[in-house]
Amino acid sequence: MTIGKKRGAKHLSPDKLASAFFPLSLVFLSAFLIFLSACATQSSSLSPTIKTAVYPGKTWERHASPEAAGFEAKRIQAALDYVKTLATTSLVVVYDGRILFDYGDTSELSYLASVRKSVLSMLFGKYVQRGQIRLDKTLAELNITDHGGLLPQELEATIADLLMARSGVYHPAANSGDHLAYAPPRGSKRPGTYYLYSNWDFNALGTIFEQETGLNIYDALEKDLAIPLEMEDFRRELQRKSGDLTKSIHPAYHMWISTRDMARLGYLMLREGNWKGQQLIPRDWVKKSTSPLTRVQEMNPEFLRQGPLGYGYLWWVFDGAGARGPYKGAYTAIGALGQFITVIPKLNLVVAHKVNNQKTKETVSRDQYLKLLDLIIKAKK
């Protein structure tokens, strides 16, 4: 087919045509090489354990036996025997991306209690990286208030202060289950200077997340975590907020997730936010949020200083004497009554533990759970 030449247009010879397009081809070649370099850099930035990691699909794979995974069967049985003496309703232990052993009905959906806070921290990461959430924004800039208003000094607290439970805001919260009973007088501590586990901070963070991202927390939970992680049991309609809104306008964003899906959340954290090559949570955020930003000797009330845990961004972090050996770099989510997701990077281990208190009317204490962790860890050859 012949294409007619437009009247008045110059005719370029093949040589001149090639020379005209040659600089443009160099531009495209350079851009392509830059793209390949960026891909290689991103790939090389992933640690070897992430590149070679085993991930669950629609279901978890299982180790053939404890011995095949490098654990002593007798010691694993001792851990199971101990679990049976507790109010534990379900347990999942994941080693190297496969279930080492489990206990109870791990598919049952039940209340996570304060584990929700660590899950919210996971959701924050992407939006902080994108710049939609600025950690240095103050409550005043965010127009965050509550019944009776906040003090001028309290309004200076930043999002980062709230993530560390260092806001200095001791306004009543919509729900119990914190240490506000031990709070110093309002206005007595400047933001950022004093750790106190306060549900006001945590619930206000839920309000801030939704305000700054334009997303409902539970929609973000489904879109950003449940779907890409292929959670087996997640049900969006079960997620609901609660609290006494006459005490505070910021409700608690409670969550109902199964134990085997809790293990997926823990495994995502173990893999530094990477899931099958997709970076769901920025690696820097995982590292920052699970670092001891409040050291164990700075914890309040003072009785917390006797334990093994400091605090990061909504994660409890093994610190001080509690961070020795396999616990170095370990961290955990903790919820009332016996809800835990613990990540132990040194051993490539994740433990998800649940107590459905509506059934048992009993609890598993933090000390009981820590003893269980010790038993599991000692089973490693």
At 65-81, the pLDDT tens digits run: 999 999 999 999 999 99
Question: What is the spatial distance between Cα 145 and Cα 159, in angstroms, rounded to a whole number?
Answer: 14
Q: Supply the mean pLDDT for the chain.
A: 90
Task: Output 53-59 pairs: Cβ under 8 A, ≥24 positions apart.
Answer: 53/97, 53/271, 53/274, 54/96, 54/97, 54/98, 55/97, 55/267, 55/271, 55/275, 55/276, 56/97, 56/230, 56/264, 56/267, 57/230, 58/230, 58/232, 59/232
Domain ranges of the chain: 67-378
Q: Is the pLDDT of residue 103 over 50?
A: yes
pLDDT of residue 46: 52
Question: What is the spatial distance between Cα 215 and Cα 65, in angstroms, rounded to a whole number?
Answer: 43
Helices (H), the chain: 14-45, 48-51, 73-83, 115-130, 139-142, 159-163, 199-213, 217-220, 259-270, 283-289, 357-360, 366-378
Contacts of 4 (CB under 8 A, 6+ apart): none
Are 299 and 310 within 8 A, CB to CB? yes
CATH class of 67-378: alpha beta
Q: pLDDT tens across 104-118, in order?
A: 999 999 999 999 999
* pLDDT band per the 50, 70, 90 thresholds, residue 50: low
